[in-house]
Amino acid sequence: MKKRHMICFSVLIMLLIFLMGLNISLGSVKIPVSEIFDIITGKSNNISFVNIVKEIRFPRIMASIILGGALSVSGFLLQTFFANPIAGPFVLGISSGAKLTVALAMIFFLQRGMILNSASMIAVSFIGSMISMGFILLISGRVKKSSMLVVSGIMIGYICSSVTDFIVTFADDSNIVSLHNWSMGSFSGIDNKDVKVMSIVILTAVVFTFVISKQIGAYQLGEVYAQNLGVNIKLFRLMLIILSSILSASVTAFAGPVSFVGIAVPHLIKNFFGTSKPAIVIPASFFGGASFCLLCDLIARMIFAPTELSISSVTAVLGAPVVIFIMLKNSKSKQR
Amino acid sequence: MKDSILYTDRLSVGYDKKILIEDINIKISAGKIFTLIGANGAGKSTILKSISKQLELISGTVYINTKNINLIKNREFSKSVSIMMTERINPELMTCRDIIEYGRYPYTGQFGTLSEYDKNKVDEAIRLVNAEEIAEKNFNFISDGQKQRVMLAKAICQEPDILILDEPTSFLDIYHKLELFDILKKLVYQKNIAVIMSLHEIDFAQKISDYIICINGDKIDRIGTPEEIFSGEYISRLYNIPSGIYNEYYGTPELKAVTGNPEVFVISGQGRGINTYRRLQRLNIPFSAGIIHENDIEYPVAKALASELVSEKAFEPIGEDAFKKALDMIDSCKKVICCLESFGTMNNYNRNLFEYSKEKRYLNIL
């Protein structure tokens, strides 16, 4: 690993630890930094502090980290797959597809007095992701222009969202509150059991992604050259689709659709590290996405406290300028 | 067949099960350059894509080192065949060295870490294509010619037995074309690699290739050395251009001659008239020319462009017949351009033509 990459990784990890500290400490109840160490080492006597940290803030922080990381890695995979710098799970309508099927499943089971466990939520969400992905693949096979791909993704996203809104409107009152919160995107209400499930699913997928980083790198040279280097293109494309869908589906299952993280973070990371080598970008995007979501969640919780913003409204404000910047940069490099 | 590194057996290629070219039987040997030529859309790329496993074969078989390519594993195949296609790549934040290192892909482990040996191979490839100066530059910020060299270096450090190039000179200017061919020649001699490529520039095809493979219609029309292919009228037939326009000695065509009754007579020889002929062609003025020996350097140009041409047999002094013919033409044109400044014993009659025109005040300056 080059020296620059070492330094960048150290900066990222320090940033992550710093933001974790902030997220534990700040909130409606402020917890002093000295107390945090005591709570972690189990020496604290303040039971309400211990409960706040262990039952509320810790799962929420872990969710931000894991889901943020998953979104970024998923975005990176989709950008590689479509050779399009502004592809991402939200822009391509994959998150919205997942949102639709999860909303349907939630209402269906709630009406029968059942609550879905987190593993089945992921499964349902995965099905929705794959349906949206199927449409996107169909379209991308016909139109080669990358801007058209994004436009059709956004259209698919709108269709799914309006159907979801329609369903929510006609749902029972009791369902609406939880459904509404979730469909706007939020890291609240995630407990330690959810964290365990999402960690297993997402970390497995991320590790697997890292293992195929060599193939991903070859694929960045385009299909023709990747194949000539020995990549089994059909199998590889299938793996990319499944991995990116699992990652974004898990996020949607727990936190609803979260916008722009998938585009903004990989881009920032690539420029920060000065490379697009997958073996570097995949882990770095994971940590970067984690920090990005920790920061956004902190802002969402704190800025109008006690009212919470939806996570997407914060990620959009921070992420959308990055997207505009990418498009400007691309149009400039094409004029060269 | 044992001595050919790649050969095909009744191969048919095309897209979507539709046959474009059938019954292809070619044998490629190591250390030689094979060039596919033929009209646009003839199927040069289709053949290259088929033998490099990018396109499914419609029927027949391709053998590499006597093994059927459909039975060769991807990784093994990539060690014996590397490609440089017309597809442009658009990598982000990658140096040229990064790109070239991907050539070692079939040789590295799961995480693609390069060994000392791999790094040496990369350096060697960089040296071979003269890319030392651009190696650490961002690939997106170099010129087309440099990009082409980088892609070639990538293909080289894949250490293939066969290098497949689809129109490698398309975006290059003359300097970079010559440079690329120079590298290819080096490669073939130093590494004993077989090169199979397609070219549009038949003049270069004639000069660089050991063998030419000509595609016409739905079949391989001819395979032969440049000497065999580029003689006589064959090239004109292959590309469907009117006879006499393509010059087999220069390897280039002249533009179409202006038709009609000659308005000017050009007295010339010794190559002096070439520019005048081309200029008259551009000005759309039909002309006649003479008296030129058949072994004169400008004879092919005059033959291609002049409406009427008076010529004399090689190594013979100009004779009475030719002189009279030329005189008639001068009288009917009444305008003469003389490109010659001095005359010798072999073309003494040209001096007479010049003096006759001067006397009659026919002489013109273009």
Q: What is the pLDDT of residues B32-86, one digit of tens each?
A: 999 999 988 888 999 999 999 999 999 999 999 989 999 999 889 999 999 999 8
Do B93 and A276 make contact, defined as CB atoms within 8 angstroms?
A: yes
Distance CA B254, CA B259 (A): 14
pLDDT at B366: 61
Residues of chain B with C-beta less than 8 angstroms from the C-beta of A221: 89, 91, 99, 102
Q: What is the pLDDT of residue A1?
A: 67
What is the per-residue pLDDT for A173? Answer: 64
Which of chain A's residues have a Cβ under 8 Å away from the Cβ of B93?
270-271, 274-276
Nearest CA in chain B to A266: B92
Residue B89: its pLDDT value, please? 86
Give residue A287's pLDDT: 96
Q: Do A270 and B140 touch (CB under 8 A)?
A: no
DSSP per-residue string spanning B302-340: HHHH-SEEEEE-TTS---HHHHHHHHHHHHHH--EEE--
- Inter-chain residue contact B98 with A277, CB threshold 8 Å: yes
Query: CA nearest A91: which of A179, A1, A154?
Result: A154
A149 vs B264 pLDDT, higher one: B264
pLDDT range class, residue B344, cuts 50, 70, 90: confident
Higher pLDDT: B203 or B249? It is B203
Q: Which residues between 153 and 172 in chain B have a beta carbon less than 8 angstroms from any beta carbon of chain A?
A: 154, 158
Q: Rounded to an integer, what distance in angstroms lies between the CA atom of residue B232 and that of residue A237? A: 51
Nearest to B111 among A214, A218, A232 (CB): A214
pLDDT value at position A259? Answer: 83
CB B92 to CB A85 under 8 A? yes
pLDDT at A105: 86
Residues in chain A closer than 8 A to B85 (CB atoms):
224-225
- Minimum Cα–Cα distance from B103: chain A residue: A229
Each residue's pLDDT expressed in tens, for chain A with a length of 336 residues: 688 999 999 999 999 999 999 988 887 778 887 788 788 777 777 788 888 888 888 889 999 999 999 999 999 999 998 888 888 888 888 988 998 898 888 888 877 777 777 888 889 999 999 999 888 888 887 776 767 888 888 899 999 989 988 887 777 666 666 666 677 777 877 888 888 989 999 999 999 999 999 999 999 998 899 999 999 988 998 999 899 999 989 998 888 888 889 989 999 999 899 889 999 999 999 999 999 999 999 998 888 877 888 888 888 898 888 888 877 877 666 544
pLDDT at A151: 85
Residue B2 has pLDDT above 60, yes or no: no
Please give the ipTM for the structure prediction: 0.83
How far away is chain B from the Cα of A63, in angstroms, using its nearest Cα? 29
pLDDT value of residue A335:
47
Q: For residue B23, what is the DSSP state?
A: E
Q: Please name the residue ranges forming H helices in B58-173.
A: 74-80, 96-101, 116-128, 144-157
B-facing residues of A in 205-224 (CB < 8 A) are 211, 213-214, 217-218, 220-222, 224
Q: Is B52 on the interface with A (CB under 8 A)?
A: yes
Interface contact flag, B54 A85, Cβ < 8 Å: no
Please report, for chain A, the start and end positions of each structural domain, with discontinuous segments joined by +.
2-86+185-335
CA B224, B227, B229, B232 dihedral sign is: negative
Q: Does A21 touch chain B (CB under 8 A)?
A: no
Tokens of A246: 């699992």
Q: pLDDT tens, B143-159?
A: 888 899 999 999 999 99
The answer to whether residue B78 neighbours chain A at the CB level (below 8 Å) is: yes
Cis peptide before B291 (omega within 30 of 0): yes
Q: Which of B53, B92, B103 sits opposite A276 (nearest CB)?
A: B92
**pLDDT exceeding 90 applies to what percent of chain B?**
54
| Assessment of whether the complete model's pTM goes beyond 0.90 | no
What are the pLDDT digits (tens) for B81-122?
999 998 888 888 899 999 999 999 999 888 888 899 999 999
Pairing type for strands B194-198 and B211-216 reads unpaired
Across the interface, which of A232, A274, A279 has its CB nearest the CB of B93? A274
Residue A307 neighbours by CB under 8 Å, 6+ apart: none
pLDDT of residue A108: 83
Residue B191 has pLDDT above 80, yes or no: yes
Whether B90 and A83 lie within 8 Å, measured CB to CB? yes
State CA A234 to chain mean position distance: 26
A230: contact with B, CB 8 A cutoff: yes
Cα torsion at B116, B179, B132, B115 (round to 10°)? -10
Homologous superfamily of the A2-86+185-335 domain (CATH): ABC transporter involved in vitamin B12 uptake, BtuC (1.10.3470.10)
